[in-house]
Amino acid sequence: VNALFHIARILCLLAVAQAAPATGLPPGVMPVESIPAPALRLNDLDGTPYDLADTHGHWRFVHFWASWCGPCRREMPSIQQMQSLLGSDGPGIVLVNTAETGDEVFSFLAAVAPDLVPLLDSDGLVTEAWQPRGLPATFLVDPQGIIRYQALGGRSWEQPAYLEFLRHLPPGPTATPAGSR
């Protein structure tokens, strides 16, 4: 029994080691050299304005996407699941649709991730200012408004390695619990 226990423990350690590489970052998440987040002032589907600068003090998960983009479509349910699993323990989610109409955004999200609240970058210029490497793109912005990490392509955000990473982002000096956006 002891031998079995030790084997199981080693297997668990190996699994954890694989999920969290030596860098401490989950797969596909890269540190960024302290870039101040560009302006992000957009309206949501109801026309309610949102300004990223008003949410300083929290970590933010800023995600750019479009419904025509295959990896974006595959990733979106995992973002909703991540939000559900993290609750107020995670960063505020800022979901920016790139250059589509409200109807296109609504009809897509209502089917695959109805709990997420999108912002509309109707002409695509805010997306371009952030210079993502492609779509989908995710940036993690710290409580002081500095981009600290970016994710490469679509990720399985609901997986334990990502959830643990997002739960343990260092708090900022004025950090308070963050909900959606």
Partner 1 sequence: MRTPLPHVTLCCVLTALLLGSLPWACTAAERQWRGPYLETDALLIRLIPRTPDQMAAFYEGRGFARAAIERIRQTCFVTVHIENRSADVIWLDLDQWRFTGDGKPLPRLDAAHWDAQWEAIDLRQASRSTFGWTQLPALRDLQPDEPVGGNLVFPGTTELLTIEARFPVGADRQGTPIRAGFGGIHCRREAASP
Residue of the chain from 43, 78, 81, 122 that contacts partner 1 (CB under 8 A): 122
Sheet holding 146-151, edge to edge: 29-36, 146-151, 137-141, 60-65, 92-98, 118-121, 41-44, 49-51
Interacting residues of 33 by C-beta distance below 8 A, sequence separation 6+: none
Stretch that binds partner 1, among 4-12, 22-30, 83-91, 165-173 (CB under 8 A): 22-30
Cα 44 versus chain centre, distance: 17
Among 51, 115, 123, 164, binds partner 1 (CB under 8 A): 123
- Nearest CB to partner 1, comparing residues 10 and 68: 68
Binding track over 68-87 against partner 1, x by CB under 8 A: xxxx----------------
Told to check if 98 binds partner 1 by CB under 8 A, we report yes
Please, how many CA atoms are within 13 Å of residue 35, restricted to the half-sphere of its CB? 15
Query: What does the binding site for partner 1 look like in residue numbers (CB under 8 A)?
Result: 27-28, 30, 66, 68-71, 98-101, 104, 122-125, 127-128, 133-135, 152-154
